[in-house]
Each structure stands twice: as structure tokens, then as C-alpha cells.
A and B are shown apart, each in its own frame.
Chain A
Amino acid sequence: MIERAEDRQKFRDAMAAIGIESPKSQIAHTMEEARAALAAIGLPAVIRPSFTLGGTGGGIAYNREEFERIAAGGLAASPVSEILVEESVVGWKEFEMEVVRDRADNCIIVCSIENVDPMGIHTGDSITVAPALTLTDKEYQRMRDASIACLRAIGVDTGGSNVQFAINPADGRMLIIEMNPRVSRSSALASKATGFPIAKIAAKLAVGYTLDELANDITKTTPASFEPTIDYVVVKIPRFTFEKFPGTPALLTTSMKSVGEAMAIGRSFAEALQKGLRSMETGLDGLDEVTPPGDGGLDAFRAALSTPRPDRLLMAAQALRAGIAPEEIHRATRFDPWFIAELERIVAAEREIKAAGLPEEPHAFRRLKALGFSDARLARLSGRTLAEVEALRRRLGVHPVYKRIDTCAGEFASATPYLYSTYATGYGEPHCEAEPSARRKVVILGGGPNRIGQGIEFDYCCVHAAYALREAGFETIMINCNPETVSTDFDTSDRLYFEPLTAEDVINVIRRESESGELMGCIVQYGGQTPLKLSQALARAGIPILGTSAEAIDIAEDRERFQQLLRKLSLLQPENGIARSAAEAEQVAERIGYPVVIRPSYVLGGRAMEIVHDRQALARYMREAVVVSGESPVLIDRYLADAIEVDVDCLADGRNVYVAGVMEHIEEAGIHSGDSACALPPYSLSPALVAELRAETEALARALGVVGLMNVQYAIKGEAIYVLEVNPRASRTVPFVAKATGVPLAKLGALAMAGIPFDPASLRGEAIRHVAVKEAVFPFARFPNVDVLLGPEMKSTGEVMGLDVSFERAFLKAQLAAGVNLPAEGTVFLSVKDADKEALVPLARRLAEMGFRLLATRGTAARLREAGLAVTTVNKVLEGRPHCVDAIRSGEVDLVINTVAGAQAVSDSFDIRRSALNYGVPHFTTIAGARAAVHAIAERRAGTLEVRPLQGYF
């Protein structure tokens, strides 16, 4: 069944059999056949060579000449001289249907989704809207019938599926593109968008229930066998991190590159869109201005708009501001004119504000807010301060109301407070359905969209806080805007507000909730940096922050105050300084000596963090990598070469401090902690050192008055312990520590914040007898021209954990889980920088003893031969062919160990790492990582791995 859906040809045949059209296509083996195929299919045509990696050698041909060239290239690139010539649907409208079927063949459409970005851009990378907005009922029903017929034909007997369609906007021709016979990213979105929990229902259908036997969880009175209908508009916006992958142009294609998304809900598309844009945490307050391209003329805009980039929607609005006609924008972007017209409504309102200022009449002001304008955006447009706009809005009595997401557009009463804000329409006083309770309540702020550096680890913490506090008798109120999370399930907390995590939106919710019952306070330390950044604004608004005080947060975040604290506690810190200009940066670097680690303040995930080796590099960094100002200086630290990095997580309730986990990183300091593998307990540190780390952590927690969780990062060089940073909040490693030690850290931390202390005697997590290894997972395969080398800027998008009785076995399991299948035999390719050559010798010896054949570049080979090892020399790429990359590509290499230093060497060896990645050869770019790998290989050869449930370790 799954094959029928996943195999393109089988799927196409199955659809043809039930009369559903797929894009036309034909296979060709020669240019004659290719021309015949083109005659049948027409231009533009997509050419896909068979069996080439990453689709190399293919492309879209818009004219005959291009077709000849691409087809010839494609035939040459394909090892079997075969290309698929396919009808191009780039620029067509794209729709998705979320379908659920039960064993009695009852089928329902949970949600329709329309992509604002047309075909050609992966739906995960598209701005999407629910429900579909530009279909007549006749077209919608045709698509609905086709979706259900598709499920039946493919044989999805129970569960949820996602079916994707392309529609030619000119004549309504509908093609089926694909179907995913499983719950998908879109089904998560559809669940949040409608309040119909697809995965939960699908699980029950899988064990034999039928839809009419299940209750609608939201209304509690109607069955699940109905189609949700919504009375609002949902907008999902993908979140990209191209800035982390220099070398990859920020272009959107059919291969997904976004790492997260935000969803927003409003009573109009405009309201939902602007809420969505400010949910992204990319610094937008709404439909903000962007720099016009080139000379800002029509041609420049046309060129910019015809390239699918992440900010294309903002660029379209900018074009409207520049007076460019909507039809031009439509032609360039293929956005449906309806969406462009909605952008125009926003831009027209902006124009009015700029011309006439903000209205002093409540209804007119409300109408602006109903277009989704945030106070910050209104301030910018009107040239007033944020405080003035807030004051005006309050004086006019314009507040949002909260409406319920109830699956039925109000037809039935909803028992579930799943809410979103709206300013409604702006002619009368809208009705609010928040109905805050009279209970004692705690507000938990979520983490916003997933991005590199801030992912589901933080959602884990928020969810556990909700569980623990609900159990302890508090009413839990969640605020978040990420549809991919558990925290935005309407049954995770008592009340859910699906809202952007901005000061304005959060304060509005809390004000409304404070109108009844007793607000204990707000948890800001569980959602990562996002809510933490709001703590000062919340404190100013008089909203109590639970746990560690805003003051303590400021001490930890403020470089100078933090230094004073460390000095008071006699703790070491790498020499450092702070600079607010390029000249200052140079002075600081001269004082502490190169190399230095440099980064902007207030960031997570090592954004724009670099190790700088000399003056020129520093100057370039200050010029290109950051925008420094008085308010956001850069931080400069001495780089501790070859130091061991350690993460410590602890829990405190104001009286007791419990050090929950000491994690030793495998990669050395300088590699971002999020990208480094780590082991709990430490595998090479002395007990005395570990005890000292614990003591320092405890001292820091006490000094800061931590209530809740805290994470400290240390670097150890020799016997000296340096404090790198302190985060008075839940860290990325909390779920790892909790799972490795069996201590529910996040829950205990949440309870501590609510004033319920923990019993330190009952926590025996440090007494574990097993080893847990965390390994990072990277998205490099999606970014074709990016180097896989690790550095101070975080690049991983996920992580896995391996658990076993020894470090080596746990590491091996972690590698396997991360998709790295360490070889038990074969050939190892070795090429390391001079500084690592000594350390490589024992590793190479060990590998040779295990029977591996050694292949090395000249310098490395020479050193290994000196040590008495048998090595085959292979050319570097620049030394002529055949070279080491040829060896990797022809499958002669089973493991790559490659370390480099210096820009030239890095660029020379780029192909080694990239081909290892492309051909699935395990590769290690640090000696520390390689060492762990070699030990793990030995372990793998020694015997088979065993499986035990997590519970079996405790």
C-alpha cells in the first residue's frame, strides 16, 4: 500500500485507473525519444534524469533550445541514459486536503489548505492558508471527491492522509501531485487549525474504532464523524535559517529547507497574516517594509519577485508600496490575485496612517487593529512611540477579544477553551469568549517557531510544566504559536491561547485572564530565549514572573553584571571584553590575544558566533557579520583551544540546589554545544573535577537565587575550570538529562516556581549505572553547497540519544540512531591537520589492528608510516586524479576522518566532506569525535547490541 503511494509510476497508474489526472510525463532514452516526449507534453517541461543523486542534470526547459540542452545533459548524467520528461506545473495553484478514513469506509476531510506560494515550492516552505480560499464549491467538491477516491484506491484503510493537488489558475485543470499515506506535517497543522486532533483520532481508528463511535474532543457532545468547519482564517509561515548556511542561496525549491513554522489565527486573512509574521521572531512587527531591490524600479522588483525567496511576500507588499500594479506582482510571483489584493488592503491602510496619523476614534482604530497591525507597527507607521500608541489604544478602549476554536463555527457550544485573539471587525463592540475562570492560574509561555538553537526541547519543558502544575491543582494557561508542538494541543493545558509571543499579545492575554481568579504568575524560563526576552516587558507591566527573578535573569544576561558575580564567587572566566564598535573590538582582541570567540549579545544557538584568528578576520566580522550598536554590543572571549566543554543542568527551589546532570562534550570547546555529542556521566573527567563542577554550579544557583532550572556551560583546560555562560532557564539538554537520569526535571522545576519545594533526598539521578550519549543530527543534505564542518555557530536541527552500560556502546547506539552506520571493516580515509597528527596515530593503529585498510593523504600518511603503520597514499584533490574524492565516490571508503585548519585547507578539502555526506560515508571532522567513533567500532566488532526499554535502566 505504501509503495503504491510512494512509487511515482505506480501512484500515477493507480490514479489514472480512477480517472484522476497526474502531470503528463514520458520516459526517453535518446534525443529522438525526448523530442517525441516534448511534442506530447509541451513547454515548459521538467527533465528528470533517472538515478542521479539529488536530481543533478535535470531542470526546467522553457524553450526548445533549453530543452535540447537540458535533455542532452540529463541523458549524459543518467547512468542508464534515461530521462523523464514531465509537464511543468510550476506556478500553478497548490492545495492540500487532509483526509481521515475509518475501517467502515467513512471518510471525512478535516481541512483544506491553500498554498500562497505556488507549485514549485515545497509545501513545507510555503506560506499556507486554511481553509482554501479561492475555490468555488464545484471545484472544492471535485477535489474532495478525488481525495477520498485516492485514499480508497491506494488502500488507506484507516487513519489520516494528505493529498496534494495542483490547479491551473487559467482553466481550473486539476492534477494530483502526491499523497502521503500517513499523518504528516500538514496534518499537525490541520489539527491545530481546526481543533480536530488527527493523530489521536487516527490512532483510535487504527485499533478498530469508527468515526461515529468517537467523540469530538472539543464539543464533547458531537461525534468525530463530521467535517470541521471554521469561522476564521489560519496562516502558516515557514521559518528559515539560511543565514546559518552561507554558501546556500536563500532559494526555495521543491526540496524543503525550512526548520520550523509559526501559525496564526485571525478573523480575516490580513489579521492572521500580520499575526503570523510577528510570530516568526525574525524581528518583524507585521508586514514590515523590506529594502527594495536594485534601483527600486519595476524591472528590479520584477526580477526580485520572480525568484522564490523566503521574504517574497514582504517583497510583494514592498512592490505595492512602490506603486507597482498587482497584475505585475501576480505575473512575477504567481501568488493568487486574491492574496495580493489583501496585501493591498494592508498597504492602503499603511498609506492612510502615514498621511493622516492614527485615528482618534475607537471604531476606526479597531478597524486598523483588525487588519492585524501590532502596536509596534502602528508606532513605526505613525512616527509615534510604542508607549504613545499603547496609551492611545487603551484610552480609546480598543482591546482584542478572544474567540474559540470549536471545530463547528459556533454551531455547538464548546467545552474547550482553545482561543485566539481578534479585533473582529471594527463597527461595534465585539464579543469575547475567553470566560476566564475564578481559579488560581499559572501562565506558561512557549518557545515560538522551531529554529536551529531552539527546538522541541523547550516545548518538552513547557508541556511538563503544564502537566505538573495541573496535577498540583493550578489552572494552566499556555501561550504559543508553533503548530508543531505538544504545548499547542488544546488538551495539554487547561487553557490554550494560540497567539504570537510578543509583549503586546502576551500582555493582552494575561490582562484578560487577570480579570477573574488569581494569577500566580507567568513562567518565562521554559520556552527558551523567546519568552525570556519578554521578562522585562512583563515585569514592567506588573505581571509576576514565577521562579528566578527578572533581576537575576538580567545579571546572567548582562556581561558586566555577570563578571562581577563571577569575581565575587572567585570563579574563572575566559578573558573577555565587550565592544560597541569595530575599533573597540580590535582593542579588546589585542588585549586578550588571538584567537578569540566573538558573538553578538542576546542570542541563542550561536547565531553569528565565530572564532577569529587575526586582525583582518576581526575587521571582516565587524563589517559583515553583525550590526553593532550601543544597545547590542558584541562579546569577545579568549578561545580556549582544545579545552573540554561541559554542560551542567541544575534544579533549585530557593533553598535546595540539585545538580541534575554533568555532561561532557565529545567535540572540543569551540564547537557549539548544541552540535556537540555529549556523555552523561562524563567519560574522561576525574571525580575531583566533577565534584568541583557541581560545587561551582551550586554556588552560581544560590548566588543568582535560581528558582526553577539553570544551565551552566564550562570549559576545562588542564585542571582549570572556566565558566562560559550561565542560562537561568531550562536548557536544550533538560529532556536529555531527565531521560538519562530518570528525574522529571522540568516538572520539579515548574513546581518549584509555583512555590512547591522538592525533596533533595528523593532525587538519586546521579547514581545511574549506565551511560547516555546525545548526538546531534544535521540538515546538511538539504543544503547542497554547504560545508559540514562544525564550528561555534549551531547547525543541528535535532538530536538522538543512545543508552547503554558503557560509553562506547552508548556512543555507537547514538550514531546508529543518527543514521550513521559505523563500519565494522573496510577502508578508512585519513587526512588531518598538523596539530592532530600526533593524536591520530593511536586511532589509526587501533583501526589497523581491527583489520581496516588505511588510506591517507601524503602528510598524514607520512606520519602514520613513521609510526610503523601500513598506509596507502592517495592524492589530495589538487594533486591530480585519481584522488581521495574519487575513492569516496567509487565506494572504496567506509569511514572518513578529516580535520582541517585555515581557510585554504578548508576550501581545498570541502569536496572530501561533501562527497562523504552525499555518498553516506560516516565522517568525523574532529579528532575527539573520531576517537569516540573508533572505540565504538571496536565495541561493535566485539558483540551485538542489546535493546532494553528506558524503564529497564532504572
Chain B
Amino acid sequence: MPYTVEDLIARLGGPDAAAERLGVSTEAIRKWRQSRAIPARHWPALIAATGIELADLPGAARPAESAPGPDQPPPGATAVLVLADGSRFWGRGFGAHTGTEPPVGEVCFTTSMTGYQETLTDPSYAGQIITFTFPHIGNVGANEEDVEAANIAARGLITAADITAPSNWRAQSHLDAWLAARGVSGIAGIDTRALTLRIRDGGPPTGVICYPADGRFDLAALEARAAAWPGLEGMDLAREVTCRQTYTWDQTLWSWPEGYGRLEHPRFHVVAIDYGAKRNILRALAAAGCRVTVVPATATAEEILAHRPDGIFLSNGPGDPAATGEYAVPVIRELLARELPLFGICLGHQLLALALGARTFKMARGHRGANQPVKDLTTGQVEITSQNHGFAVDPDTLPAEAEVTHISLFDGTNEGFALRNRPVFSVQYHPEASPGPSDSRHLFRRFVSLMER
């Protein structure tokens, strides 16, 4: 269905912002709202400002009907998701239009009901198209604070319901506009539950989202594009999302009403190796009293040690740990030899395991959500955790000096280990949450306590 005048105004950030962006008076906006129509002479400016199509304007003709491509979408559909096996799901596109090279990636799902903006900006989703199992996405809009990285690493997103106008005091823009501005495409109107069950039972497929500005679809070409994608196994994606230069971090965790804080009196200095780090990890480290120096994934041990750190942190990140391990493992081995306190999360956990001689494997079913129960075997306590991983550590291959400390209560897979005689530990899940519960924040304090010794 076309956007209503109200939708469009909301998308532009309200009546005042709309007037300003379109170069018209607020009186004109008021008239549009009253008449529920926008005169045609304003359409070009409107399309430029909102990134929507002519077809979506109230009262405009639909290009899909006037300019059929090789494959005709069902009425109302403006985008398609095509999987490598040829199955296709029609829907409505949002965000940015796809160009000549529509985004291709592994289609995964996340069951988290909140925090879509944090999820989308989590660099660990590089190479992936995210299916949100919760139907309404976009309710709270987008803001500048709830981001885990400067850019969106995910290749696209899939939702059940159309993106709605934002309703939250923290919202600064419409999710649709926010995505469009970042060149990310999404498709709504998909039976996401059917897709989820399919991923659950058949493993994550490769898919392509196509949301062409001209409404022309070539399904065979899309299928070929999906089929040609090599898949995540063996893919080193950390290199794509890591920082280019070393930088320092002192922002602390979000709280109401202050927002993010600053670390005033650092007690320790931590070097974090950025394989695709989420900012909330850095914030949690800063909140625990650590000045953080973030180095690129390819930094050498020498470069790292030159910062004279009190502790080393191995970040989360995307892709196959074995591929990233090729250059990361030797560095980690050198660092381990220095007996420095070391803490790893997610990909960092897997890389640490590889450095200790263990193996990782691609899981038949990844863990992605904010409700994942993890048991701390050392205390017996159950924590509800945020997770996002498709590879796991094979605990049977860990060396004797490693003690398994955490397991998933969903499938028993490894969620953490610690070394018996060295100040080294890591977890597969995300104690920094964002999105998700903060039950495991204490791990950052544990890391600091290792530095206190």
C-alpha cells in the first residue's frame, strides 16, 4: 500500500523537519495533511528526501505495472528474497534500493524482541542477512546512541511486518530512513516464522535481497548470485570490519538520564584486539575502570605489547574463526606466553581456543537471541545471555589446562572456559549484552580482578 501523507511526514522527522527538508512552508505541510495529498510538483523533492519510490506516493501509479521485468512480482510486492536453492519470498522493500549487485549473505535469524538497532550494527553480523523473528521492527525508530559500530555490517534484514513509524522519546529518525541513509536494504511481508523453521531444520541458507528502484526482477540471475556465494565457512570477515587504525576508548555504559558516561580515573590499561568489536564491550571495560586501546585485528604482538597493557581483550567478530585464526592465533600465542590477564568474547573465545590447540566447528543451528540460558559450572548459577554465534568450540579438543566453565542449557555446547594456572578466560556469549540482559556483566569485573593480582 502507498505511504500516507502522515507516513511521509513522519519519515521526514515530523512536520517542521519535513517543511525544512522539502523547502516548503509549514502551512503547506498542514494543507497536505488536511487534504491527505501532496501536489505533484513536490514529488521529486520528496523522493529525493525520503528515498522512497514514486509508486509509494499517495495517488501515484505503480511502476511494477508499467515496467514489467523478466519476472513479474505479485501485486503490491516491491522486493524479493531469493535463496540459493531457488526458493523465493516476495515482499515489500524498505531502506535503500539494491543496485546491480544486490546484497548476498547467509540468512540467519535472531529471536531478540528488542534492540534491533544494536543487532543491525553488531559487526559480528558481517556476511549475514538477519531475519527478525519478532514481527514488529522499527517501533522505537533509530537514534544515535543505540549503535554498536559506526556502520551496519549485516547485509540486509528480513521482517514480517512493515516498518512502522517510531514511537519513543529517544527516537531521532525512522528506521527506514536510517537504513536508507546507510545503504542497507530490507524486505518486509515475509513469513519469517516459516523461514526461521527452515533455517532451524535445514541450516542457514544463502540468500539475496533484491529491492530494485525500477521494479524489475530477474529471479534466475538472483538465484545464480546466491548459489555462487561461497558461504561463511573459511571466510575471514574480521578483516572487513576491524578498525583501520589504533584508537583509545573511554566511554562508559549507558544509564538514565545521563546517557553514556566517560571514564574519569582509569585504573588499568587494556588493549582490545578488534575483530569486529561491539562498542558495548569497550564501554563495559571502561565502566570497570579500564582505559582501552583498540588495535586492528592484524596488529602484531609486538605492537600490542608496546602499549604496555595490564590486560588483553579479544573481541567478538564475524566469520569463520579458523580463517581469522590464521593470522590471529600466532599473535594470541605470543600474548599468552606473557602471562598477562586475557579475556575473550565470542570470536575472541574461539580464537583463544584455537590458540590453545582446540578446534572450532560450524554449528548446525547457531545461537542468536537475547534469551539464551547459560550455566556457570563453577557456581551452578544460570544466566540469561545474549548470543550471536554460528561457530562453536569443541570442548573435547581443549587442552588439559583449560576448564570448561560455562555451557549452553539449550544444546550443551561450550559457552566458556578458563585456564587453570593462568589469568585467562573467555566466553562464547555476550556479557556486554546490548541487546539483551545484563546478567553476566560481572565478567568484566572478574577480568579487572585478574589485573588487580
- A-side residues, CB < 8 A to B, are 104-106, 108-109, 131-142, 144-145, 169-174, 210-212, 222-223, 225-233, 267-269, 325-326, 336-338, 341-342, 344, 348-349, 352, 361, 363-364, 367, 403, 408-413, 424-428, 430-431, 433
Contact = CB atoms under 8 A, between A and B. Distances in A.
13 contacts: A131-B113, A136-B117, A137-B434, A212-B373, A222-B409, A225-B382, A267-B160, A269-B136, A367-B1, A409-B196, A410-B200, A428-B90, A431-B193
B330 interface: no
A336 B76 CA distance: 29
B433 interface: yes
B169 A171 contact: yes
A267 B134 CA distance: 9
Contacts of A138: 145-146, 170, 254, 256, 434
Nearest to B255: A142
Contacts of A211: 382
A403 B136 contact: no
B384 A232 contact: no
Contacts of B256: 138-139, 142, 172-174
Given A212-B373, A367-B76, A428-B90, A136 B168 contact: yes
A443 B369 CA distance: 37
A338 B4 contact: no
Question: How would you classify the secondary structure of chain A's contact residues: helix, strand, loop or mixed?
Answer: loop
B161 interface: yes
A657 to B, nearest CB: 50
Nearest to A340: B167
B128 interface: no
Contact of B437 (A141, A228, A267): A141
A427 B90 contact: yes
Given A269-B136, A426-B76, A427-B90, A226 B197 contact: no
Contact of B384 (A135, A227, A341, A425): A227
Interface residues of B, number: 70
A30 to B, nearest CB: 34
Given A141-B437, A145-B438, A229-B133, 17 more contacts: A134-B140, A138-B146, A139-B168, A139-B256, A141-B114, A212-B382, A226-B373, A229-B112, A229-B369, A231-B196, A267-B160, A337-B167, A338-B165, A338-B167, A361-B75, A363-B76, A428-B91
A267 B115 CA distance: 19
A34 B272 CA distance: 56
A231 B169 contact: no
Contact of A228 (B76, B115, B170, B371): B371
Contacts of B254: 138
Contacts of A171: 169, 257
Which of A134, A230, A361, A409 has most B Cβ within 10 Å? A409
A223 B371 CA distance: 12
Contacts of A338: 139, 164-165, 167
B98 interface: no
Contacts of A231: 111, 133-135, 160, 192-193, 196
B409 A363 contact: no
Given A225-B382, A430-B194, A172 B169 contact: yes
Given A228-B371, A409-B133, A427-B76, A137 B161 contact: no
Contact of B381 (A105, A109, A134, A427): A105
Contacts of B365: 411
Contact of B189 (A136, A170, A212, A425): A425
Interface string B155-186: 00000110011011110000000000000000
Contact of B114 (A137, A223, A410, A428): A137
B371 A226 contact: yes
B382 A403 contact: no
A268 B133 contact: no
Interface in B320-376: 365, 369-373, 375
A341 B167 contact: yes
B136 A133 contact: yes
B164 to A, nearest CB: 6
A131 to B, nearest CB: 5
B247 interface: no
B167 A226 contact: no
B6 interface: yes
B75 A364 contact: yes
A137 B146 contact: yes
A226 B437 CA distance: 11
A551 B160 CA distance: 45
A114 B369 CA distance: 21
Interface in B201-240: 201
A136 B113 contact: no
A142 B369 CA distance: 18
A134 B168 contact: yes
B191 interface: yes
Nearest to A167: B169
A142 B196 CA distance: 29
A424 B161 CA distance: 9
A171 B171 CA distance: 11
A299 B1 CA distance: 32
A887 B165 CA distance: 61
Nearest to A170: B169
Contact of A229 (B113, B190, B434): B113
Contacts of B201: 413
A411 B90 contact: no
Contact of B136 (A174, A222, A233): A233
Contacts of A225: 373, 382, 409
A490 B144 CA distance: 43
A403 B381 contact: no
Interface in B101-156: 109, 111-115, 117-118, 133-136, 139-140, 143, 145-146
Contacts of B6: 326, 341, 344
A210 to B, nearest CB: 8
B390 to A, nearest CB: 13
Nearest to B166: A338
Contact of B111 (A337, A348, A352, A408): A408
A320 to B, nearest CB: 10
A431 B370 CA distance: 26
B111 to A, nearest CB: 4
B276 interface: no
Contacts of B190: 425, 427-428
Contact of A268 (B135, B143, B372): B135
Contact of B409 (A105, A223, A348, A427): A223
B78 to A, nearest CB: 10
Contacts of A226: 371-373, 384, 409-410
B409 A411 contact: no
A863 B216 CA distance: 96
B92 interface: yes
A529 B203 CA distance: 49
A168 to B, nearest CB: 8
Contacts of B1: 348-349, 352, 367
B114 A425 contact: no
B380 interface: yes
